[in-house]
Amino acid sequence: FATLIARTAKDIDVLIDSLPNEESTPELQSAALRRLEQENSDSAQRLTETVKRGEELLEQIQNALQDIAQSQLKMQCLHSSTDDTNSASNSLNNNSNN
């Protein structure tokens, strides 16, 4: 029970300390609010720039992946046509040997 009382007293002290002090005038509060609004605006601008940069990077990555996929398809086609040419050549050689 004593522990509960001590914890409650500590919580009350924390709440009291979080209250605005008497020196906080409307002018000071207004200045603090303007400062927070400016910080918020700056943060929003940085976020917008970061998102834009992320979208640009994503587009670059997608283009690179598309280039890689096209190159792989071309290589497969070249490999297939080389195999077909070799098979046809081997068939011709086998027929002429017979």
Q: Express each pLDDT in 63-81 by its tens digit.
A: 999 999 999 999 999 888 8
Q: Express each pLDDT in 22-47 by its tens digit.
A: 676 888 888 889 999 999 999 999 99
Q: What is the distance between the alpha carbons of residues 80 and 68, in angstroms, rounded to a whole number?
A: 18
Q: What is the distance between the alpha carbons of residues 62 and 70, in angstroms, rounded to a whole number?
A: 12
pTM: 0.52
Q: Domain ranges in the chain?
A: 1-90
Distances (CA, A) of 84 to 23, 26, 77, 89: 89, 86, 10, 8
